[in-house]
Amino acid sequence: MADRNKTEEKVTFARELRTFDATMIGVGALIGAGIFVLTGMAAGVAGPASLLVFALNGVVTLFTALSYAELASAVPEAGGGYSFVKKAFPEPLAFTAGWLAWFARIVACSLYALGFSAYFLEFVKVYLPPLYEFGVGNLGLPICLNIMTVLVGLLFIYLNYKGASASAKTENVITLAKIFILFVFVLFGLKEIFNFPKEAFANFKPFFPKGFGGVITAMGLTFIAFEGYDIITTVSEEIKNPKKNIPKAIFSALGIVIPMYLLILFVCLGSLREEGVPSWQLLGEYKEIAIIKAAERFIPYFGVALIGFGAILSTMSALNATLWASSRVSFAMARDKLLPEKLSAIHLKKRTPHISVFTSGAIFLFIAVFLPIEVVGSGASLMFLLTFSLVNLSVIALRRKRPDIKRGFKIPLYPVPPILGVFCCLFLALFQFKFKPLTWYISLIWIFVGLLIYFAIFEKKTADQKPQVLDADKKTRVEDKKRERKKFRILVPLHNPDHVTKLLDFAIPLAKKYDGEIVALVVVDVPFQLPIHEGLRFVHHKRPLLKSAVEYANSKQIEVESDIKIAHHIADGILSSAEEEEASLLLMGWKGFTNTKDKIFGEVADQVIRYAPCDLIVLKLTEFPIKKILLPSAGGPNAQLAALYASVLTREFEADLTACYVVPKKAKDEDKTEAREWITKTLKGKEFSFGVKEKLIESNSIPAGLIREGKDYDLIIIGATKGGFFKSIFLGEIPERLARHSPSSVMVVKKYEGAVKSWIKKFLG
């Protein structure tokens, strides 16, 4: 049996992101600094025809989005465009694609840092004028902008080095906040246009003040505002059902953002009024702070604060995401030995690609400090246009080379969209030379240096074989499905070596009673800065926990499956396993305290308790052996389930059971009678090997009464209680206080509220 259990160890990857999460990643990246920083520049270059600029860019990016959707559904691997080109073309072209993608994101980081500085100083100018005058008066505006750029850049370099990252849910909240801010901005702008329709209409005449050439130039300049959806493909390995959900997320993100871009530009052009100066010229003069200047005109009192906050939030989140993405690209290339191997080094303690982060950070800070923002914006767009051209070519090449690959999405009217995508991207890229020749000179130097380095150094090296993450993952799932699963499955996450056997002492009797099986789980957490498959490097640290669990279970004549889950967040790994293993019960330990502020049980436990897709036991272990058990009763499904498990455990531990109910001091006889009836209802239908004692505890505080009484017991088993909506999503006030303050072991039981959670799950994709 021991050998069999060892062979059943699975190493799988937590697909934590649903369609909604993936869509929000795309929307969050699209509503980045591009729309805030480049709107004014686009208006200055193309005039009112900048509306046509954004609409045409939406069409151009749709061609490439179709290619991304097909490629990601066929090859759902982390790395985005670099991974796709690597699959389709020889190594030199793959290197060029990665080299361009890396530089594109570095330059984008520079743009976002510059955008942050401009909006932050504008915010300070309006609300803290003495501070603004002191800084600008003594140092000058350019130096102040550079200082802010360097400071915000260093902040996010440090955060990425440290491994700090927001969860998907936090990022969703930030993205929804940005959407709300821009929605308010549009509403006020439309109100201003409707109040002065003649003046607004006049702002759009002439529509092409700089000719159609201005439209083409502005398209190339602003294209970076339409590229964020490609970040969805960099987390392909972490998206549930990627073949279906990645295309859906890409098109949903564009469907939300492109109309919003057009509305923002429309209200900016239509609402600004100044005698003798067309609105597009005003926007062009304001450049990167055009939107905040527009808000200042038509949103009284809080316009600057609203857009300033939105722009600062957007530029910071975009900077963080893009720096993360750039370090991932350089890390992936270094892992494939297409860049110096030091760039693939992982910090021993932080587990982050620290050298990749520092290298990308140093380059983007240099560009941000020494190049004008127009050159930076144009350069970022140029790099993405060239990269997108290669991606469109990749979809054509892979159709020819690998027609056997199963594609979850196929481009309609193929090959027209990818051919148009290549043509449009190259045309816009070449036209950028007319706007800013320096951009092309810098880009050509970067490409030349990259190819020189490649042919001189890296061509002779053999790329390491990347672990076949998805194939291995699929194989384990297929093998797992071959063996018929039992209906009752207990998932036991393991973390503390001292609690492995103790947790199994609770799981084993329940598995035997209900003819079930146990899955012992360990989660290898990987910082978000690393691709999830890099967690394979750290799997060996967790194997001793599983070995201990398997050996102990074998000694008790029970079968245990071993599961190693690699995830960016421990809670997501546990929840992902609970779903994939079709767990009936999740039994997890708790240390009895938390060091995290504003968390009830701790960051991991709170997440698991809130979103567990099955029945749940939270166990705080202090006393062993267990000979006396206290079962508080208050009715309801949770108390019934607690009593059911108590009946099993009393037989296993040969323990005495006391069922109790807390009544107020000086309670009336009818109250005591009702309390005894509750105890009877709770125990009804349960089988107990030993007699059950009944006890009424007199206390004006239920938790205090249970804590005082529980001192004489080894274990308290209590069902979760409901104390309003927000309390009900955890365990309830009484069990939480009891678990936190009782000196005895406490077992809290919560029954799965399947109908509500299934609806939420379906709603979120």
Number of domains in the chain: 2
CATH number at residue 98: 1.20.1740.10
Predicted confidence band of residue 308 (pLDDT cuts 50, 70, 90):
confident
Mean pLDDT value of segment 410-421: 92
The rounded distance, in Å, linking the Cα atoms of 13 and 473 is 7
Residues 425-441, mean pLDDT to the nearest whole number: 84
Q: For residues 164-189, give the mean pLDDT.
A: 77
Q: Does residue 509 belong to any structural domain of this protein?
A: no
Output the DSSP codes for 485-512: PPS-EEEEE---GGGHHHHHHHHHHHHH
Q: How far apart are CA 51 and CA 173, in angstroms?
A: 29
CA-to-CA distance for 543 and 526, rounded, in angstroms?
16
- The answer for residues whose C-beta is within 8 angstroms of residue 618's C-beta and 6 or more apart is 588, 590, 601, 605, 609, 731, 739, 747, 748, 750
Looking at the domain assignment, is residue 370 inside a domain? Answer: no
Which of 542, 544, 549 shows the shortest CA–CA distance to 492?
Answer: 549
Q: Which helix (H) or strand (E) holds 258?
A: helix 242-271
- Mean confidence (pLDDT) of the chain: 81
pTM of the model: 0.71
The mean per-residue pLDDT over the stretch 12-27 comes to 77
Domain CATH number, residue 644? 3.40.50.620
Rounded Cα–Cα distance for residues 321 and 232 (Å) = 11
The tally of CA atoms less than 13 A away on the side-chain side of residue 597 is: 0
Q: Is 198 exposed, middle or buried (0-12, 13-18, 19+ CB in 10 A)?
A: exposed
Mean pLDDT, rounded, for 461-468: 42
Domain annotation covers residue 363: no
Q: Is it the case that residue 762 has pLDDT exceeding 50?
A: no
Asked if the structure places residue 702 within a domain, the reply is: yes
Pairwise CA distance, residues 337 & 304, whole Å: 48
Q: Are strands 615-620 and 585-590 parallel, antiparallel or unpaired?
A: parallel
Q: How many helices (H) and strands (E) does the chain have?
A: 31, 11
Q: What is the pLDDT of residue 436?
A: 77
* Cβ(451)–Cβ(481) below 8 Å: no
The answer to whether the bond into 625 is cis (omega within 30° of 0) is yes
- Cα–Cα dist 170/178, whole Å: 13
Q: What is the pLDDT of residue 6?
A: 42
Q: Count Cβ atoms below 10 Å from residue 653 Cβ, excluding itself.
A: 20
In a domain, 203, yes or no: yes
Is residue 416 predicted with pLDDT exceeding 90? Answer: yes
Three-state SS at 613: coil
Please say whether the beta carbons of 232 and 249 come within 8 A: yes
Listed residues 386, 412, 435: the one ending a domain: 435
Q: Is the pLDDT score of 463 beyond 60? A: no
**Which residues, 6+ apart, have CB-to-CB distance to 627 below 8 Å?**
653, 654, 655, 656, 714
Residue 29 has pLDDT above 80, yes or no: no
Supply φ then ψ for residue 696, to 5 degrees.
-100, 130
Indicate the SS3 state at residue 260: helix
Condensed to tens digits (0 to 9), the pLDDT of residues 575-584 reads 888 888 889 9
Question: Using CB atoms within 10 A of its CB, is residue 688 exposed (0-12), middle (13-18) or buried (19+)?
Answer: middle
- Residue 82, pLDDT > 90, answer no
Distance CA 695, CA 663 (A): 10
pLDDT (average), residues 629-652 = 87
- Higher-confidence residue: 502 or 308? 502
Please report, as a single letter, which amino acid is at residue 225: A
**Would you give the DSSP letter of residue 711?**
T
Tokens of 645: 């498990």
Strands (E), 279-336: none
CA distance 423 to 318: 28
Q: 494 and 500 in contact (C-beta within 8 Å)?
A: yes
Peptide bond into 509 cis (omega under 30): no
Sequence-separated (6 or more) residues with CB below 8 Å from residue 26: 228, 229, 231, 232, 249, 250, 252, 253, 254
Is residue 641 domain-resident? yes
One DSSP character per residue, 464-479 reads PPPP-HHHHHHHHHHH
331 within a domain of the structure (yes/no): no
Instruction: Determine the residue type at 752.
Output: Y
Residue 222 domain boundaries: 31-127+168-320+377-435
Contact 573, 14 (CB under 8 A): yes
747 beta partners? 619, 717
3-state secondary structure of 14: coil
Q: What is the pLDDT of residue 2?
A: 40
Task: Select from 386, 415, 435 the last residue of a domain.
Answer: 435
How large is the average pLDDT for residues 377-391? 84
CA atoms within 13 A on the CB side of 379: 32
pLDDT at residue 482, rounded to an integer:
43
Cβ atoms within 10 Å of 764's Cβ, excluding its own: 12
Helix (H) or strand (E) holding 554, with range, is helix 543-555
Q: pLDDT-based confidence at 421, cuts 50/70/90?
A: very high
Helix (H, G, I), strand (E, B) or coil at 660: strand
Looking at residues 458-477, what average pLDDT do you find?
46
Residue 731 lies in a domain: yes
d(CA 249, CA 656) in angstroms, rounded, equals: 56
Tens-place pLDDT, residues 679-704: 888 888 777 766 788 899 989 888 89
Residue type, 125: K
Cα(286)–Cα(304) distance, integer angstroms:
14
Domain final residue pick, 420, 435, 450: 435
